[in-house]
Amino acid sequence: MNKNTLRASALVLAAAAMLAGCQTEQGTNTAVGTGVGAAVGAGLGNLIGGNTTGTLIGAAVGAAAGGATGYNWGAIKNKLGGHTAGTGTTISEQPDGSLKVAVPSDVTFDTGRADIKPNFRAVLDDVAATLNQNPGITANVVGHTDSTGGDRINVPLSQNRAANVIQYLNSRGVAMNRMSGMGVASSQPVASDATAEGRAQNRRVEILLHAPNQQAPRG
């Protein structure tokens, strides 16, 4: 067995090990992952084999791996846009493969309170509908505050905000065992607390949607 064959075999075994612990989601959501995996795999195969055979081996392995681990969030991002226009809500894919829905304070909660505001319900209704239509997806809700008031106030406040979001989603049909939540107070700012505008950005709720096989942190 020559060196190129050994390298190709090692790649196949590595991909097989990864695939063993994975399950595929709906075809529309794995299509992008498969395509990207094939492209990357082809590049690896070309490096390994230096010829057409090596490229084909890499493409096949990459397509299989991409199909198992990739997730096409595009359609879900479009669906979630229904009630978020003009609210300051941002929807972005994260390096770990999750989809983050970040909702600012002027939509979510009044200052110092954990009661869900009416405009936030519309956003959460979209999130609940998305979760109900995609039963393999799980959600991790993270409550944030600015640094005003200190941790004695902000830690329980951020926890209560996350808990109320989870309870609302549950009231819209999302099973509790598909959700987790945590309050991190002011420990993860996205702007400076030195200005009112910065503090407003830091007071937010983030909903991280995790595709099948992604482990959401428990809090």
Is pLDDT above 70 for 8? no
Is pLDDT above 80 for 196? yes
* Entry pTM: 0.67
Is pLDDT above 60 for 181? yes
Q: What is the pLDDT of residues 148-176, one digit of tens each?
A: 989 999 999 999 999 999 999 999 999 99
What is the per-residue pLDDT for 81?
Answer: 72
Long-range contact pairs involving 169-175 (C-beta distance under 8 Å, separation at least 24): 169/124, 169/127, 169/128, 169/131, 169/139, 169/141, 172/124, 172/125, 172/128, 172/129, 172/132, 173/128, 173/132, 174/128, 174/131, 174/132, 174/139
What is the per-residue pLDDT for 75?
Answer: 86
Q: What is the pLDDT of residues 105-131, one digit of tens each?
A: 888 988 888 999 998 998 999 999 999
Q: Which two tokens stand for residue 17?
A: 């090990």
Is pLDDT above 70 for 94? yes
Q: What is the mean pLDDT of residues 25-33?
A: 45
Q: How far apart are CA 185 and CA 159, in angstroms?
A: 8
Domain residue ranges of the chain, discontinuous segments joined by +? 3-69, 74-210
What is the per-residue pLDDT for 31?
Answer: 43
Bigger pLDDT: 26 vs 103:
103
Is pLDDT above 70 for 147? yes
Most trustworthy range by pLDDT among 25-29, 87-91, 194-198:
194-198
Q: What percent of the chain has pLDDT over 90?
A: 45
Give me the chain's average pLDDT, please.
76
Q: Which two tokens stand for residue 152?
A: 């004695």
Confidence of residue 50 (pLDDT cuts 50, 70, 90): low
**Domain covering 74-210 assigned CATH 1.20.58.220 in the classification:** no
Bigger pLDDT: 91 vs 42:
91
What is the per-residue pLDDT for 71?
Answer: 74
